[in-house]
Amino acid sequence: MRKRPDWGCRGEGRGGGPGRRYFGRGNVKFALLELLAKEPMHGYQMMKALEERSDGRYTPSAGSIYPTLQMMEDRGWIDPEEEGGKKVYRATAAGLAALKEWNEQSRSECERLDAEPLSSRERRLGDTFELIRLLTKAEKKASFSAGYAAKYESFLNTSLQELRTLLTDGRTEESRDRNQAADDVTDISESEDTDRDDTSAIQSKPRRGE
């Protein structure tokens, strides 16, 4: 079973990652609705909650969250209130209904995707982004523990050396393949030249009586 993000299959579940959208296009609003369905929040709380639930893979900005909240307010999905000098948002009945509909569609999409076998490239990409996520968490932990940092540095040194060796071996294999391909072309060309020479010799041989 492939691993899914918290909010359905339309985000990073099929090969997304750092540098890509964690959520599918337009789905941030449903992630916000899911947060507000549990409790009222102000904008900064929602931004931090999204970052934490994505394990740091998605870092929302005020420039993306607040326009989305305004759009949700215009649709009647959320109701803002002033509390303690801050604007706190609550999910409305219309917002909860929209969230329920989206969740049903998302589950259907998950089932469809889970029925499809992952290609080897999709598996590699998934493992790569999971490795990046774990390295980020390990780096944060290393900043608070000298003993952990030493172990982490040892792991990095070993892993980097193995990766460099792998890349070097890969370049060697590519060079060998290119040389082999060039040799094959040369052999074919020489064979064609030989065939032409044999044909010319046969055609130029005098026939009896000439």
Q: 67-90: per-residue pLDDT in tens?
A: 999 999 999 999 999 888 889 999
Q: Is the pLDDT of residue 23 over 90?
A: no
200 in a structural domain = no
What is the structure's pLDDT at 89? Answer: 96
Report if residue 7 sits inside a domain: no
Say how many domains are in the chain: 1
Residues written for the chain = 210
Domain presence at residue 192: no
The answer, yes or no, to whether residue 188 has pLDDT greater than 70, is no
CATH code: domain of residue 37 = 1.10.10.10
Which SS3 state, helix, strand or coil, does residue 167 take? helix
Range of the domain at 38: 12-117
Residue 27 lies in a domain: yes
143, 153 Cβ separation under 8 angstroms: no
The pLDDT tens digits of the residues spanning 88-133 come to: 999 999 999 999 988 887 777 666 666 667 788 878 887 888 888 8
C-alpha 122/C-alpha 210 separation (Å) is 72
Are residues 29 and 13 in contact, defined by beta-carbon separation less than 8 angstroms? no
Asked, for residue 191, whether it belongs to a domain, the answer is no
- In degrees rounded to 5, what are phi and psi of residue 86? -120, 150
Q: Is residue 100 part of a domain?
A: yes
Is 133 domain-assigned? no
Per-residue confidence at 12, pLDDT binned at 50, 70, 90? Answer: very low
Q: What is the mean pLDDT of the chain?
A: 77
Q: Which residues contact 37 (CB under 8 A, 6 or more apart)?
A: 91, 95, 96, 99
Give the confidence band of 206 by pLDDT, cuts at 50, 70, 90: low
Burial of 157 (0-12, 13-18, 19+ CB in 10 A): exposed
Q: Is residue 163 part of a domain?
A: no
